[in-house]
Amino acid sequence: MCVTCGCGEGEVKIEGAAAAHAHEHVHADGTRHSHKHPHEHGHVHDHDHDHEPAHDAAAAHSHAPGVPPSRMVQIEQDILAKNNAYAQANRQTLAERGIFALNLVSSPGSGKTTLLCKTIELLGTYPVAVIEGDQQTSQDAERIRASGAQAIQINTGKGCHLDAHMVGHAMTQLKLTDDALLLIENVGNLVCPAAFDLGEAHKVVILSVTEGEDKPIKYPDMFRAASLMLLNKIDLLPHLQYDVDAAIAYARRVNPQIRVIQLSATSGEGMGEWLAYLRTNIAQTHAAKSQTVASLQAQIAQLKAQLEAQAQTHAQPKPNAAV
């Protein structure tokens, strides 16, 4: 649910089946537990589990009658806090397995799926998995599978974005291999996905040259949240009146640190730079995993040595007590 746009909750489906709650939860005291129940309930819960973003019907709209602004702010903070907890759990799982994950966000029709298919093709045998987010249909997931990668479809119904809870469920259903690349294609929307961390390493915003150059300043939250902008469909520039420099300047006005890659999945121009970006980050993810494993192994060896030293101390004969 999104308190900004008022999108609905309870219609999420993964591969055509209603998503069930089966996520691990971490409490303030560090304890963990998981439990499961279906989404398709029609009643309002009155409990304190942290698995549901919110059950307040009024929270579905930022303009809810009778709800004061202070209450709406608190509801939004609660929703985002719970989402961030799920995102952190996703991020930890991905890091432990050396999986590099990206959250691809854009307007509808920017060319995300075509770009993914071309990327999968150019990566060859490298293991890639895709989580597809759309309100309805499984067409994009079918296109990804036809490209040779495994994909899982999340249909959000009235929802306008993916959240970390949905992605966590999808990750458990995907047969992810260690050290793989996970690409999350979010619902086409330049507003709400900006606020929801999914556990990804980076948000990548895709801007097509068939859109306006001023998209970055019209939707600043998305371009501020992204670390990379892909300016897509540049093969069409000869046929358009599009100011590339202005688009990049607008993006950097919002986010001075944003990196920009100009490319076309159709012509292949710029795809080499995009693949180099992926390979560099994949290698860094693998290195971080190896470093973590080595650190844990060193800690285990140190603890083992301490235990052995303590055992030897206890095993030594004690001197006879003075008479």
Would you say residue 187 lies in a domain? yes
Q: Work out the mean pLDDT of the chain and round it to a whole number.
A: 82
Comparing 4-8, 33-37, 167-171, which segment has the lowest mean pLDDT? Answer: 33-37
Would you say residue 140 lies in a domain? yes
Q: What is the pLDDT of residues 218-231, one digit of tens each?
A: 999 999 999 999 99
Comparing 12-26, 114-128, 281-295, which segment has the lowest mean pLDDT? Answer: 12-26
The CATH number that applies at residue 206 is 3.40.50.300
Backbone angles phi, psi at 154, to 5 degrees: -110, 120
The total domain count for the chain is 1
Q: What is the pLDDT of residues 93-131, one digit of tens each?
A: 999 999 999 999 999 999 999 999 999 999 999 999 999
d(CA 231, CA 262): 5
- What is the model's pLDDT at position 264? 98
Would you say residue 186 lies in a domain? yes
- Give the CA distances from residue 24 to residues 68, 117, 147, in Å, rounded to whole numbers and listed in that order: 33, 32, 32
**Owning domain of residue 260:** 86-279
Would you say residue 12 lies in a domain? no
Would you say residue 80 lies in a domain? no
d(CA 145, CA 132): 11
How is the chain split among helix, strand and coil, in percent rounded to 5?
A: 45, 20, 40
Instruction: Judge whether residue 257 has pLDDT over 90.
Output: yes
The end-to-end CA distance of the chain, in Å, is 80
Would you say residue 154 lies in a domain? yes
Would you say residue 132 lies in a domain? yes
